[in-house]
A and B are shown apart, each in its own frame.
Chain A
Amino acid sequence: MIPSKFDYVRPKSVDEAVAALKAGGEDSKVIAGGQSMLPLLRLRLAAPSVLVDCARIDEMKGIKDNGDSVTIGAASTHWDVMNSDIVKTHVKLLADATATVADPQIRHRGTFGGALAHGDPAGDLPAVVLALDATLEIAGSKGRRQVAAKDFFLDYFTTAVGPDEILVSITIPKLGKGWGTCYEKFNRSANGWAVVGVAAAVKVDGGKITEARIALTNCAAIPVRASSVESALKGVAVSASEIEKASQSAADGTRATSDLAADKEYREHLMRVITARAVSCAAGV
């Protein structure tokens, strides 16, 4: 299919982009890699009046090591992220999860910020930033603001980024020593969306898990933290059976939907199984 007509602007700075969004009104949309947007345009499920292309705004690109955290420009491609030495060294969970996003062609074009701002509950990266307590910088006509990952995802395809705002960058604190991470994705076919995905980071000390952070993909309208599993894991010995036991509460606090891939009951079952696998993998079992 061929998209409906729209206008196109390619601003050079964040300020210009914000101004263009405001000028374009309600139906203006940000595009960067366009890997989520293009199928919507082609199926005419989206018909924006103006597309504001942020792919070439310098400020929105690049990956920076801040010492205790890493800042990633929102328009960095998945390929940039997963091949960045900074990310691979300090935010391995993100590198690993990004490598599971879609396929190579899409990873070459799609952007980290785009995947977050799209707010797709089946997207892999929202769970990662949630698990890692990232902070997201948003620019708008009233200036800039910092939003914590836990406040960023609001509902299906809805995030804290307002109509005339742009996600500029994402800052992720480093985990430090003793932490292991894993992104475990369960899908029906290799290039399919996650039926359930689990981003896990666990700190192991003396053969015991001392801290755990776990976030789930596609288990509610937004990514959710498996808080009761996180608590249950505290102090647990690093063993498959103990981890499995602690993972039994993985579906608590989720709002699993039913679709062709999984009904509620099966999806909740998967949450328990995949959480246990992700934690085991992160803990090196």
Chain B
Amino acid sequence: MTKVSITVDGVLHESEVEPRTLLVHYLREQVGKVGTVVGCDTSSCGACTILLDGRSAKSCSVLAVQADGSSVTTIEGLAGDEWHPVQAAFKECHGLQCGYCTPGMVLSAVDLLSENPNPSEAEIREGLEGNLCRCTGYHNIVKSVALAAQTMKGGKK
């Protein structure tokens, strides 16, 4: 077992993990952050996406020991008193159906907008290429991200 200290959604956790423990399993099973989910085993689907030290990462493809000393934001820690504009936009534009890809999709969108606050449709699509959705055909996801970009520019966040 290896000792790790990881800040998850603003709370410091010191835990013993097996080196083989995936960050996503650490989050779900040891920290109880079950909002982050697993969708594949080849790093393809992005359902497990979190922000690791502020940048999007697939938590199924990071070992918990690699995240030692880092800070993780999951879907459960994204909202403050109010929802993040990306969350609000996904609801407004019906950017989700079953919701399984949603936590990862939202966090990828947050990362995308932090790098490119004014993306074109093509840039939104390319920025989300690491996240698969089987329900929406991406149409309303793209609209959601465009709307979030607008609200965020408006100074709402």
Contact = CB atoms under 8 A, between A and B. Distances in A.
Contact of B60 (A31, A38, A190): A38
A65 to B, nearest CB: 24
15 contacts: A1-B41, A3-B22, A4-B20, A8-B65, A34-B61, A38-B43, A42-B22, A42-B41, A43-B41, A79-B55, A105-B49, A105-B56, A108-B52, A109-B61, A191-B130
A104 B2 contact: no
Contact of B111 (A55, A102, A104): A104
A285 interface: no
Contacts of B49: 105
Contacts of A184: none
A240 interface: no
A39 B41 CA distance: 6
Interface in A1-49: 1-8, 10, 31, 34-35, 38-39, 41-43
Interface residues of A, number: 30
A31 B65 CA distance: 12
Given A8-B65, A104-B112, A2 B43 contact: no
Contact of B65 (A42, A53, A102): A53
Summarize B's interface: helix, strand, loop or mixed: mixed
B63 interface: yes
Contact of A6 (B19, B43, B129): B19
A277 to B, nearest CB: 19
A85 interface: no
Interface of A: 1-8, 10, 31, 34-35, 38-39, 41-43, 51, 53, 55, 79, 102-106, 108-109, 190-191
B46 A103 contact: yes
Contacts of B126: 190
B119 to A, nearest CB: 12
Contacts of B52: 108-109
Contacts of A42: 22, 41-42, 60
B13 to A, nearest CB: 18
Interface in B103-130: 108, 111-112, 125-127, 129-130
B25 A106 contact: no
A1 to B, nearest CB: 5
B155 to A, nearest CB: 25
A114 B119 CA distance: 30
B66 interface: yes
Interface size class of B (residues with CB under 8 A): 20 to 34
B66 A55 contact: yes
A263 B107 CA distance: 38
Given A2-B20, A2-B22, A104-B108, A34 B42 contact: no
Contacts of B43: 35, 38-39, 106
Interface string B85-96: 000000000000
A10 B2 CA distance: 11
A183 B46 CA distance: 26
A62 to B, nearest CB: 17
B128 to A, nearest CB: 8
B19 A108 contact: no
Contact of A106 (B41, B68, B130): B130
Contacts of B62: 34, 38, 109
A5 B1 CA distance: 11
Contact of A108 (B56, B66, B127, B131): B56
Given A8-B2, A42-B41, A103 B63 contact: no
B16 to A, nearest CB: 13
Contacts of A4: 20
B44 interface: yes
A104 B18 contact: no
A45 B20 CA distance: 14
B49 to A, nearest CB: 6
Contacts of A190: 125-126, 129
Given A7-B19, A41-B20, 11 more contacts: A4-B20, A8-B2, A8-B63, A35-B61, A38-B61, A39-B42, A51-B63, A102-B130, A105-B57, A106-B43, A108-B52
